[in-house]
Structure 1
Amino acid sequence: MNRQRNVNHQADAQHFPARNAFADEAGFRAIIENSSDIIARFDLQLRCLYINRSIMRYHRVQRNRLLGKTPEDGGLPPPLALPLQQAMEKVRTLQCEQQVELTLQLNGQRYVFETRLFPERDNARQFGSILCIAREMTEASLARRLLTEENAVLEMIADSRPVNQILHSICQMIESQLPNCMSAIMTLDRSGQTLSLAAGPSLPVSYAEQLAQLPIGPEVAACGTAAFWKRSIIVNDLTQSALWDSLGQHAADAGLRACWSTPIFTSDHQLLGTLAIYYDMPRSPSPSELRLVYRCSHIAAITLQRNLHESQLYQLATQDGLTHLFNRRHFIESAERHLNQARRYQRPSAVMMMDLDHFKAINDRYGHAVGDRVLTLFSHLCRHCLRGSDVVGRLGGEEFAALLPDTELEEARQVAERLRQQVAQAELTHEGHTIRFQVSIGVAIMQSNESLDVMLGHADRLLYQAKSQGRNRVCAPEFDDKPVHQGELPLGLA
């Protein structure tokens, strides 16, 4: 029986070190002094009885200055001391294990500790001290947070949130992983020649203004250069880099000293933009930081590529593929919305029906490719003559329509006449031939509560009248257009 009791005692000592093996202070120190975890013991007044040397890796203070003092009185940084004392007070009150996550910011580096606190009892089962074991879990904690934030961003993408809102969240995700950094996402403009700032929540405003339109080139800051060469560009110190000749002073005034930029690509390696990390001190990225940047650039690519696809689908659904004006269906939907608003506020509206004269003759003589060029030129003239608030669409073939909100009849007639004149003066060349074309226009004004169909019907009859009177003219209610001037080409050919 005595032998069995000794065996059980040894097992208890192995599995319950706080109660047995650590009861002897010399044995306690010998085992834990070189542990990578921070291990400390506190009395019930929360005063430190012992702390191992691992604290020296994170807090430059002599250990003996912590002895006999609470964490707060001993000079531990407040982000560690305050939550640690609160957790120990719970252990003292509840006499049960507590767990708390502590975060320390030191020299630009963040450390996360998973801290467990145990009530210690002596052989008489009397609660007499608190054992603290703090294990650094920075990488694991950041990985968990990154996964949570990534999932939140992916949910935003799935919910079709506004693209700038998603990009803003990606920047915040990066900045939560890399303390003291400032992130920015630039997107490729439609021209393919410049980048513009889409998200940069922490960038100084004065510097962000300089990124409204950044040229792409072999030596244009980090982002313009990364987009040009289609590879990551790391600038450890902006003051020592020739890439910053154009933006160097703006960067210096904003307190920026380092920038890492990586391009953002579609799945088939088409450029979408760039992702940049800025610091206010010279700095090189670590391998783990670069992995984070590449990982976040992939999420940004998903966001931008989805937005690109949605934009393309919207264009296919709403725009004419050749002229890029509204297609028939979207023109009618948009025009009806404007008319409903005009009726509500009792504002005037006008419509124009337009048809290119003798367009079939152009197709027959020069081919449909030239005909497409004529249609494209006409759509350009429409956008040039009409206001941004006007709704213009291609109804089919060479037939077009426009709705002019807040426009009286005479003003609409003048707009139509100006467009007719510009069309008559326009020309394009093909294989040495000069090609001119003309347009006939019918103009109608909204009367009382007329529907869009009724208005378009009025304008269409006036367009037919313009055609029957010789073409290349504007017809409006109670308006007799002048005859076509001599010398104008009735077939639109030269």
Structure 2
Amino acid sequence: MNINSKDDIRLEDILNTTPVAVGWSSVSSGRIEYVNKAFRDLFGYTLDDIPNIESWYSSVSSKPQYYQDVIEPWIKECQESDVAHALKTMLHCKDRSLKQVSVTFSLVGDKRLWYFSDVTDYWIAEKRLRARSEMLEMVAKSSALKDILNVIVKQVQQESPFSLCSVLLFDKANQSLKLGAAPDLPDFYNNAIDGIKIGANVGSCGTAAHLGERVIVDNIHTHRYWKNFTQLAREADVAACWSDPIMSSKGDLLGTFAIYKRFPSSPTDKDFELINFASNLASIAIENFRVQEELERRAHFDHLTGLANRRQFFEQCETILNQSKEAHLSLAIMMMDVDHFKQVNDDYGHKSGDLALQKLAETSLSILRKEDLIARIGGEEFAILLPLTGKKEALLIAERLRANIESCSLFSPDNEKIHITVSLGVAFKQGGRCSVDELLNKADKALYRSKALGRNCVYLLED
């Protein structure tokens, strides 16, 4: 059907009032002859920018052969079935942002009218729902935290093209940020920020964690927060960073979520919405992980001293003992008991008794070697495993423990000085078959000998 000039004007006027993006192209030549206002608003392209339909589809898709591989087969399929079913696709706008659109067409003579419906918001909502469901399923299955955080990061990067995202985890003990997930940032960059101390002017993330509030840096190269990190940012090819503190349901800092841009830029309202979405999801994942981690810790460690508990000690001992049997290696086990501990509780109160046990644990850890294992296996009873340790060395370690605990400074909540001592029993084993219970029983007998000798001393029970 031919469209004369009078009809063109009327049709253009009509199409310019519709909220649907519309354009038409010549079927025979492929030349684009008209786009309406909604099309220009949606994609940013004017008629002068897009000479023909093939070149336009190729330029707005991330795939070079998109027109030949997708559009042409779709047009042919629609014509053969006589039904122009919608094609949902992701297209780049002139400003390089992405739009998820539903495309249909109709034929009017030699003109193919194209209709583009923006379904980006629906697509985002659907993708977010899927990402949230996937993350929650992974949380329920106790998947690795890094894998869960990667799901969140990938979703944000998909919604925000040309963005690179990271999740850093807050280490309260060291007041630092540890790498949680940043799959697309360079390894050298991730290594450089892994373990960085939080504080003012420590990039976007270190500052956000320090202040407990969102930090927007639209130009890394000129902002004071990045003064000490501009070279690192240049090498990583990032120029803007927006960071949000990730908070727990109780208001505690869990980490930071950051969106990096390769060019200076400020966030839009949609970016803020995206940051909120990501931070909330990350909060759920990290908080759940911390809860599970705490439950696991309580299952294997003493809540008061932080030392291994009886269960953990026996499991570790069994493993090391089996290795010692096979290789005929030496090891020693010690039993350590606080002398007259009931009297400490009676004289200074149970709070002072707890402080005494915590001080004993702290002092012991400062003396024992990295490979040694100490556990609280009773009220004031402690067991110590010394792998690859000879008789003479075991006695030296036991004596150092005794002397250091005797000389440590300890005060009650009322600032009264408390004096504690310990008795130690040592059992030594050089290869051969022996169970953990047998060794502990020997060390326990040695401990009773130590107490019988007047306490505050070390006794070795020969194998």
- For Structure 1 versus Structure 2, the TM-score category normalised by the shorter chain is 0.7 to 0.9
Aligned position for 2:436? 452
CA distance in 2, matches of 1:46, 1:452: 87
The answer on whether the counterparts of 1:357 and 1:440 sit within 8 Å (CA) in structure 2 is: no
CA distance in 2, matches of 1:64, 1:221: 42
By how many angstroms is 1:297 displaced?
A: 0.6
2:375 is the counterpart of 1:393: yes
By how many angstroms is 1:299 displaced?
A: 0.8
CA distance in 1, matches of 2:133, 2:10: 45
Q: What do residues 312-370 of structure 1 show as CA deviations (whole Å, max 9, x unaligned)?
A: 22233222122111222332233234334444565444322111223333333333333
Aligned position for 1:87? 74
Q: Which moved more, 1:88-97 or 1:296-305?
A: 88-97
By how many angstroms is 1:441 displaced?
A: 2.7
By how many angstroms is 1:439 displaced?
A: 3.2
1:25 match: secondary structure? coil
1:162 and 1:29, CA in 2 relative to 1: closer, same or farther beyond 3 A?
farther
Aligned position for 1:9? none
Aligned position for 1:14? none
The answer on whether the counterparts of 1:65 and 1:74 sit within 8 Å (CA) in structure 2 is: no
Aligned position for 2:306? 324
1:202 and 1:78, CA in 2 relative to 1: closer, same or farther beyond 3 A?
closer
CA distance in 2, matches of 1:75, 1:195: 43
By how many angstroms is 1:109 displaced?
A: 0.8
1:304 match: secondary structure? helix
Q: How does 1:168-207 map to 2 (within 5 A)?
A: 168-191=150-173, 193-207=175-189
By how many angstroms is 1:38 displaced?
A: 3.1
CA distance in 1, matches of 2:59, 2:384: 72
Aligned position for 1:17? none
Aligned position for 1:163? 145
For structure 1, list consecutive stretches of 5 or more residues without a partner in the other structure: 1-22, 123-127, 480-494
Aligned position for 1:463? 447
CA distance in 2, matches of 1:360, 1:277: 57
2:54 match: secondary structure? coil
1:207 match: secondary structure? helix
**AA in 1 matched with 2:102:** E
By how many angstroms is 1:177 displaced?
A: 1.0
The answer on whether the counterparts of 2:325 and 2:431 sit within 8 Å (CA) in structure 1 is: no
Cα-Cα RMSD: 3.1
Q: What do residues 37-86 of structure 1 show as CA deviations (whole Å, max 9, x unaligned)?
A: 2343564x7845755346554445537832xxx61499654545342223
Aligned position for 2:422? 438
Q: 2:284 aligns with which of 297, 302, 311?
A: 302
Q: 2:356 aligns with which of 353, 374, 378?
A: 374
By how many angstroms is 1:207 displaced?
A: 2.9
2:212 is the counterpart of 1:210: no
Q: What do residues 456-483 of structure 1 show as CA deviations (whole Å, max 9, x unaligned)?
A: 111111111222223333322449xxxx
1:46 and 1:469, CA in 2 relative to 1: closer, same or farther beyond 3 A?
farther
1:342 and 1:108, CA in 2 relative to 1: closer, same or farther beyond 3 A?
farther
Q: How does 1:308-347 map to 2 (within 5 A)?
A: 308-343=290-325, 347=329
CA distance in 1, matches of 2:357, 2:431: 31
Aligned position for 1:114? 102
**AA in 1 matched with 2:72:** Q
By how many angstroms is 1:241 displaced?
A: 1.9
Q: What do residues 118-169 of structure 1 show as CA deviations (whole Å, max 9, x unaligned)?
A: 5x598xxxxx986543323222222222222222112111211122221222
Q: TM-score, length-normalised on structure 1?
A: 0.80
The answer on whether the counterparts of 2:423 and 2:447 sit within 8 Å (CA) in structure 1 is: no
**AA in 2 matched with 1:295:** F
By how many angstroms is 1:289 displaced?
A: 1.1
Q: Which moved more, 1:54-63 or 1:462-471?
A: 54-63
Aligned position for 2:3? 25
Q: What do residues 212-241 of structure 1 show as CA deviations (whole Å, max 9, x unaligned)?
A: 233333443222322233221211112232
The answer on whether the counterparts of 1:263 and 1:273 sit within 8 Å (CA) in structure 2 is: yes
CA distance in 1, matches of 2:58, 2:195: 49
CA distance in 2, matches of 1:412, 1:422: 16
By how many angstroms is 1:306 displaced?
A: 1.0
The answer on whether the counterparts of 1:40 and 1:52 sit within 8 Å (CA) in structure 2 is: yes
1:237 match: secondary structure? coil
The answer on whether the counterparts of 1:354 and 1:400 sit within 8 Å (CA) in structure 2 is: yes
2:442 match: secondary structure? helix
CA distance in 2, matches of 1:390, 1:422: 17
By how many angstroms is 1:310 displaced?
A: 1.5
The answer on whether the counterparts of 2:373 and 2:386 sit within 8 Å (CA) in structure 1 is: yes
1:237 and 1:76, CA in 2 relative to 1: closer, same or farther beyond 3 A?
closer
For structure 2, list consecutive stretches of 5 or more residues without a partner in the other structure: none
1:392 match: secondary structure? strand
Q: What do residues 267-294 of structure 1 show as CA deviations (whole Å, max 9, x unaligned)?
A: 1222212211111211111111101111
CA distance in 1, matches of 2:237, 2:325: 55
Q: TM-score, length-normalised on structure 2?
A: 0.85
Identity %: 28
The answer on whether the counterparts of 1:220 and 1:244 sit within 8 Å (CA) in structure 2 is: yes
By how many angstroms is 1:428 displaced?
A: 2.7
1:237 and 1:73, CA in 2 relative to 1: closer, same or farther beyond 3 A?
closer
1:347 and 1:222, CA in 2 relative to 1: closer, same or farther beyond 3 A?
same
The answer on whether the counterparts of 1:356 and 1:439 sit within 8 Å (CA) in structure 2 is: yes
1:414 and 1:317, CA in 2 relative to 1: closer, same or farther beyond 3 A?
same
CA distance in 1, matches of 2:226, 2:405: 47
1:226 and 1:212, CA in 2 relative to 1: closer, same or farther beyond 3 A?
same
Q: How does 1:276-295 map to 2 (within 5 A)?
A: 276-295=258-277
1:392 and 1:257, CA in 2 relative to 1: closer, same or farther beyond 3 A?
same
Aligned position for 1:99? 86
The answer on whether the counterparts of 1:71 and 1:81 sit within 8 Å (CA) in structure 2 is: yes
Aligned position for 1:273? 255
The structure with the largest alpha-carbon Rg is: 1
CA distance in 2, matches of 1:85, 1:404: 74
By how many angstroms is 1:92 displaced?
A: 4.4
1:65 match: secondary structure? coil
1:144 match: secondary structure? helix
**AA in 1 matched with 2:436:** L
CA distance in 2, matches of 1:64, 1:362: 87
1:345 and 1:135, CA in 2 relative to 1: closer, same or farther beyond 3 A?
farther
2:328 is the counterpart of 1:350: no
**Count of residue pairs the alignment pairs up:** 447
The answer on whether the counterparts of 1:426 and 1:437 sit within 8 Å (CA) in structure 2 is: no
Aligned position for 1:13? none
1:440 and 1:342, CA in 2 relative to 1: closer, same or farther beyond 3 A?
closer
The answer on whether the counterparts of 1:111 and 1:138 sit within 8 Å (CA) in structure 2 is: yes
CA distance in 1, matches of 2:73, 2:33: 19
